[in-house]
Amino acid sequence: MSEALRPDLAIIARHVARGSRVLDVGCGDGQLMAALREEAGVDARGLEIDAANVASAVARGLAVVQGDADVDLAGYPDKGFDYAILSQTLQTARAPDQVLDHLLRIGHRAFVSFPNFAHWRVRLSLLWGGRMPVTGLLPEQWYDTPNIHHVTIDDFRAFVRQRRITVEGSWFLSRGRPTSAAAANFRAEHAVFLLRR
Amino acid sequence: MLPGPLRLDGGGLLSPVEIGYETYGTLNADGSNAILICHALTGDQHVASPHPRTGKPGWWTRLVGEGKPIDPARHFVICSNVIGSCMGSSGPATIDPSTAEPWAMRFPVITIRDMVRAQAMLLDHLGVGQLKAVVGGSMGGMQALSWAATFPERVRACVMVASTARHSAQNIAFHEVGRQAIMADPKWRGGAYYESNDPPAAGLAVARMAAHITYLSEAGLTEKFGRRLQARPDRPDGAKSFGFDADFQVESYLRHQGLSFVDRFDANSYLYITRALDYFDLAEEHGGLLANAFRRTATRFCIVSFDTDWLYPTSESRAVVQALNAAGAAASFVELSSPYGHDAFLLEAPEMNRVIDGFLRAEP
């Protein structure tokens, strides 16, 4: 692999079936897409809101469309992809529930990764500091953070249970290393879920 | 000069079909490196070589040339004058063989798809089966899109810049102003002005002035001219004349744009090409649903818009992208930032070059 993938992306990359069709929502400059294309012969398409990221992704030969997950997913046909991927983008959506609905409509399966707001460091920061947490994981101040819908692993588990979404896999990361599902809500900085409806 | 006949969307036949064109570079052994470039309303085939009448450099040398994303060292580049125009292709100013006189208004009304079919005849003539890419901005982008929809098996990649899949009411309205300006000029004479050697220059200049405003952004005009007055011999900082001279710099600029245009363009061609643009609605040609134009296409698409382009705004590009997504086509799209409005695609746009270069190199 030409660039080291972010740990949550590496988990996703390992579990995407070879030769499948993938839509990467919030694909950034296309790092995961490029890895999937090169390593697994995946037909990858991307959606990204930032023009500079889109230009970089297209310049590396990827099929990326500039757009907003909150608005532009509606135009994609049902089950047009094997996987729809939403990495580190859920918490920035204006309507994350609707974005998830679209992911599960567009893809046969969906990968969703997000930072866990219930990680112990975040809890400590709020409990002892009394201030909105600014950590390595959540580096922005309250006024300039793109993360407008903070979510915890237990929130997400409750959400998918309530909506009768099947969890086919889940992975939890602490400092880039896997951590167990038990106590993940306390110990994991990141979560990756593989979902199906 | 090709024998034709070319069957036109309007129902008629055009024969023979004259096509003025330029090529750069050489077609490789397996014929896989041909790129067709499509020009805009008043453009021509001189994409990367000096204009024969004005001596100005080619109109897209920022994108086409040595070391550029489209490079004759690697690509066989073809650019042809659209039919209906006046730079060597069949149009109202060329001779109708049945009368031995210029066609004038007896020239058939043509469409964007007719232009594309004429280009396909040229490619047949040149021995180019399949295009690596078809690339165009503005009206050229419409041709590129029409190419992908009309001859999907002949187009591996399509680049559409600052363009649209249909002309809006506002687009048509501006063109109608231009056409009425030409036809209201007494020198137009129902289009039969070629013998007189006295064409409807005033009307054509006004048409160009109105259109030129749509190519610029308000911010660009404000920055370039503001309310600044034109310098006069006695008043270098300008003064209001309390008359109707070109007091403002923007007036003087537009007048210059109009006057220099009439030296290089035929008024009847302007009528015919603006008509073709106004008739353009790719969805209409495919049962009203744009996605139908791209069903099962294997062509890759790259769509670029500019944020200050209000002639063909980003929303029009997005409509194309949505249709491509709905059809499952491989599409890339980016809105780039520029202060220059629609004209941005012809100006220095390093980000556009980077995107197009990467897109063209990415051929699987």
CA distance A68 to A91: 14
Mean pLDDT of chain B: 95
Nearest Cα to Cα of residue B135 among B279, B345, B362: B345
Residue B64 contacts residue B70 (beta carbons within 8 Å): yes
Whether the pLDDT of residue B321 is over 60: the answer is yes
Q: What's the average model confidence in pLDDT over B260-289?
A: 96
Note the pLDDT of residue B340: 94
Residue A36 contacts residue A14 (beta carbons within 8 Å): no
Preceding peptide of B5 cis, ω within 30°:
yes
- Domain assignment present for A138: no
Sequence ranges of the domains in chain B: 6-167+279-361, 171-271
Residue B216 contacts residue B343 (beta carbons within 8 Å): yes
- Domain assignment present for A74: yes
Q: What's the average model confidence in pLDDT over B21-41?
A: 97
Q: What's the average model confidence in pLDDT over A142-162?
A: 94
Note the pLDDT of residue A3: 63
* pLDDT tens-digit series, residues B212-239: 999 999 999 999 999 999 988 888 888 8
Band (pLDDT 50/70/90 cuts) for residue B73 is very high
Residue B59 contacts residue B107 (beta carbons within 8 Å): no
Chain A residues touching chain B at CB-CB below 8 Å: 43, 45, 51, 54-55, 57-67, 72, 75-77, 80
Note the pLDDT of residue A112: 97
Give how far the C-alpha of residue B191 lies from the chain's centroid of Cα atoms, to the nearest Å. 22
Residue among A58, A61, A75 minimizing CB distance to B325: A75
- Domain assignment present for A112: yes
Query: Residue for token digits 């909506």?
Result: A163
Residue among B328, B334, B359 minimizing CB distance to A66: B334
Q: What's the average model confidence in pLDDT over B175-199?
A: 96
Cross-chain Cβ contact B359/A59 below 8 Å: yes
- Domain assignment present for A73: yes
Interface residue B295 vs chain A (CB under 8 A): no
Phi, psi for B54 (deg, rounded to 5) = -100, -15
Band (pLDDT 50/70/90 cuts) for residue A137 is confident
Q: Which residues contact B168 (CB under 8 A, 6 or more apart)?
A: B316
- Domain assignment present for A137: no
* pLDDT tens-digit series, residues A100-129: 999 999 999 999 999 999 999 899 988 998
- Domain assignment present for A124: no
Whether the pLDDT of residue A61 is over 80: the answer is yes
| Catalytically active residues of B, by annotation | 138, 309, 342
CA distance B164 to B316: 5
Entry pTM: 0.93
Note the pLDDT of residue B238: 85
Assigned token pair, A146: 């793109």
3-state DSSP assignment of residue B164:
coil
Q: Which residues contact B43 (CB under 8 A, 6 or more apart)?
A: B59, B139, B140
Note the pLDDT of residue B237: 84
Note the pLDDT of residue A1: 43
**Interface residue of A58, A79, A106 to substitute, partner B, most B CBs within 10 Å:** A58
Nearest Cα to Cα of residue B315 among A78, A96, A57, A75: A75
**Interface residue of A23, A53, A66 to substitute, partner B, most B CBs within 10 Å:** A66
Band (pLDDT 50/70/90 cuts) for residue B113 is very high
Query: Per the structure, how many domains does chain A have?
Result: 1
Give the other-Cβ count within 10 Å of B50's Cβ. 12
A68: domain CATH number?
Answer: 3.40.50.150
Whether the pLDDT of residue B49 is over 80: the answer is yes
CA distance B208 to B146: 26
Query: Residue for token digits 């749509």?
Result: B214
The CATH architecture annotation of domain B171-271 reads Orthogonal Bundle (1.10)
Q: Which residues contact B143 (CB under 8 A, 6 or more apart)?
A: B38, B82, B112, B115, B116, B119, B134, B136
CATH class of the domain whose range is B6-167+279-361: alpha beta
CA distance B322 to B223: 34
- Count A/B contacts: CB-CB distance under 8 Å: 65
Q: Is the ipTM of this complex over 0.85?
A: yes
Cross-chain Cβ contact B357/A59 below 8 Å: yes
